[in-house]
């Protein structure tokens, strides 16, 4: 997105070519950017400058990408044209009012299905208005949507978040030349302001390896006897490492080595060894730093000694699926004792892998599918996923990578 808004050429190395990213690239082409992929895997973008996007001639189909959809809705809301959005069945069920409400205050109009769901028509503001907005939920997507709208809005747009969320947007905006000011608030929250209508300059970006994707081989190695793996170049931005902190508290032999900064982001190699895990209470304030990792944490918890309580995780109910409900149902079917309410999941581990041997409904949710496949590596009987096609959303090559580490994942016809 930022490359499409910059002046000149940007080169992106190490891009995760998942379906979400490819859908976003297609959307930026439809908005006027020139984007190519070299045979060496490097992506090149020639942007249109802030204010230079054009009205797309067709509907933007964002597939399964909630991040792509919400951020792009913010981006186009400050342009005086109309943009239509849709997605797959999972994305069409997800709430969008959390972004459309603040963006409406900036002058954009939104026409959606009931409860603010896609498909949606966004009519951008002819004269966008800067706002100061305090987020209602701890969501980097909401924050980023507003900041992206503020890019093409004169004046200063401010977002206040009471719980700090991942800050990749702010770091990268600064790297491309925008003026972003961040104030740390009492209690750990942040006040982030962006000065509108900057000139962003194309740059070379080296993308760190994704900690959310790394979570699956990490947990697999912890649960597998005599395992020892190293995952190089993983992003360890402190606002993204909640899972690693939690696993260490549970007794994981997990070490960061060769820590460094690449393209403004903290990076390290992760060394992981088999470990005996013990259940803990995961505090609610940690949720923003690991919101996508709770499904795979639940798998680790199912194999740990004692109860693991995941507190303040109601946001998981409005992800690609109701992840709290999906993990509770799946683990219960595997013989794990579960307690669940609107904001909490408690997994009672027996100190050894559960029996398994069941079929899991993934509900078009890539993280549910991958989590139960990891459980199948150590469960007493094989696990089956009814539909693993969603895995390519975020982790193309997952099966091949895991099988290369010793898993035995078979794909049915």
Peptide bond before residue 96 is cis, with ω within 30 degrees of 0: no
Helix (H, G, I), strand (E, B) or coil at 174: helix
Burial of 195 (0-12, 13-18, 19+ CB in 10 A): middle
Kindly list the catalytic residues. Answer: 292
Residue 230 gets the label, from left (phi > 0), alpha (psi -120 to 50) or beta, of beta
Residue 126, classed as helix, strand or coil, is: coil
Cβ-contact 50, 82 below 8 angstroms: no
How far is residue 62's CA from residue 365's CA, in Å, rounded to a whole number? 15
Q: Which residues contact residue 126 at a Cβ distance below 8 angstroms, ignoring those fewer than 6 apart?
A: 80, 107
Cβ neighbours of residue 220 under 8 Å, at least 6 residues apart?
227, 374, 377, 378, 402, 405, 407
CB count, 10 Å around CB of 41?
11
C-alpha closest to that of 25 among 53, 33, 70, 121? 33
CA distance 231 to 405: 11
């Amino acid at each position: 997105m930022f490359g499409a808004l910059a002046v000149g050429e940007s080169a992106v190395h190490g891009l995760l070519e998942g379906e979400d990213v490819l859908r976003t690239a297609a959307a930026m082409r439809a908005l006027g950017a020139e984007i190519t992929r070299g045979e060496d895997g490097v992506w090149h973008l020639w942007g249109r400058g802030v204010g230079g996007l054009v009205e797309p001639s067709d509907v933007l189909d964002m597939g399964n990408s909630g991040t792509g959809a919400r951020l792009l809705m913010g981006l186009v809301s400050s342009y005086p044209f109309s943009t239509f959005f849709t997605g797959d069945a999972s994305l069409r069920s997800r709430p969008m009012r959390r972004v459309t409400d603040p963006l409406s205050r900036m002058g954009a109009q939104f026409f959606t299905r009931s409860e603010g769901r896609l498909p949606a028509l966004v009519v951008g503001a002819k004269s966008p208005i800067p706002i100061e907005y305090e987020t209602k939920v701890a969501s980097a997507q909401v924050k980023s949507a507003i900041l992206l709208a503020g890019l093409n809005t004169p004046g200063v747009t401010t977002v206040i978040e009471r719980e700090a969320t991942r800050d990749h947007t702010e770091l990268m905006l600064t790297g491309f030349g925008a003026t972003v000011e961040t104030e740390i608030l009492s209690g750990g929250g942040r006040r982030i302001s962006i000065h509108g209508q900057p000139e962003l300059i194309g740059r070379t970006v080296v993308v760190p390896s994704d900690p959310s994707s790394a979570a699956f081989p990490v947990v697999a190695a912890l649960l597998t006897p005599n395992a020892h793996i190293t995952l190089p170049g993983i992003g360890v931005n402190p606002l993204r490492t909640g899972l690693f902190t939690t696993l260490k508290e549970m007794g994981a032999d997990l070490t960061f080595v060769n820590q460094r900064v690449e393209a403004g982001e903290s990076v390290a190699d992760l060394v992981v060894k088999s470990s005996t895990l013990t259940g803990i209470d995961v505090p609610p304030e940690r949720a923003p730093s690991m919101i996508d990792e709770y499904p795979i944490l639940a798998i680790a918890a199912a194999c740990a000694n004692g109860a693991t309580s995941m507190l303040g995780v109601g946001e998981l109910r409005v992800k690609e699926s109701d992840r709290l409900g999906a993990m509770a149902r799946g683990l219960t079917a595997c013989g794990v004792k579960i307690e669940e309410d609107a904001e909490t999941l408690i997994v009672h581990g027996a100190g050894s892998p559960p029996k398994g041997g069941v079929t899991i409904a993934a509900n078009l949710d890539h993280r549910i599918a991958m989590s139960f496949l990891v459980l199948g590596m150590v469960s007493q009987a094989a696990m089956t996923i009814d539909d693993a096609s969603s895995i390519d959303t975020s982790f193309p090559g997952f099966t091949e990578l895991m099988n290369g580490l010793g898993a035995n994942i078979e794909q049915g016809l």
